[in-house]
Structure 1
Amino acid sequence: MQDTTMAGLWALGLGTVKAQSTVTKTMNASIPTLVVLANLPQLALSVIYVLVNRLLSAMAAAREWASFAHSRKGLRVTVPQGQQRSTLWLQLPYSFAIPQLVLSALLHYFVSQSLFLAQIAIFNARDETEDGGASVSSIGFSAIAIFCSLLTTGAVLVAVVLAGLVVRSEAEDGT
């Protein structure tokens, strides 16, 4: 019986290959197929990153436009002079860009540890490979990394909702 407590999941490790943490239905697939399957979640995360970046950019632009209604501000230009202001890095203010980059990097790391290519070489008692180098290739998974990915995804969702509420309250308050 496998230990499904948090301590048991941590004992399995983050991105480590164990017999009980491989997907057996993928054992006959080719290595390129397994690599693509293991990395499909990374592609999905990249698409989601672009969509969240678009949403945050729209919120930041709305916040800046709303602030013009209450006080005059300098024009944003590449090389500011006088009362002009410099352009934003990545089209987002640091208060949006830095948390987004940190959470995205953390999420990509956890997802990369959640599903991965696992190649298992079979050895005999004399530490020689069986059958002239027999090995099994499969997709491995880490339950604790999947759990951490879900927690980080929840944090991203909460952060985006909170950013929207802050922008909305600033627009209503006129700050």
Structure 2
Amino acid sequence: WKRPMMGKTGTTEEYKSAAYLGATPDYAGAVQVFNDSTSPKGICIGGGPPRLCSKGNIYGGTVPAATWFDTMTKVHAGLPEKPLPQVEERYVHGDPELTVPDVVGSEISKASAMLRDAGYQVTTVSISSPKPRGAVIAQSLRGLSLRGAPVMLSVSSGPVLPPTTTSAPEPLSPAAILPPPAPGVPSAPHPG
């Protein structure tokens, strides 16, 4: 086989079915090998036609692919070879219209507006951070996504500062320093 084509294999768990889907500029077709029993078993290949067995070994690239290629070789006999159509750039690199704006580092009102204008739902959660209050420090969705998807923004509530004291702490009284007497032991007289 030397014609331009595309193909995809598929195999289910425990090898209970396998498939091959292929296409050329002229034709497309799919081959699936399966057992339509209410209790399907694995499908084994080798030494003859596919057969049911306890532990299958069939893959989409075996019997299904061989059947597709054998059939398509006959179907394409005498047809001129055609190239596959060019792939649209958006399928190779993603559609720029579906790129979620990266708003990390932006101020929350600006970030929310950018995401809403692009068609995304925005929710926020406040997190203590050394970043300035109101700065977006993380977002749940980046890259490509369909419009309408939710985006959770983590927004800095500002740094947590240690409490400040306005006066020196009062000294501890001797009673606060001495441990309590052990059970059954008479207490010593108070030193003060």
TM range (shorter): under 0.3
Structure index of larger Rg? 2
More strand by share: 2
TM-score by length of 2: 0.25
TM-score by length of 1: 0.26
More helix by share: 1
Q: Greater RCO between the two (CA within 8 Å, min separation 6)? A: 1
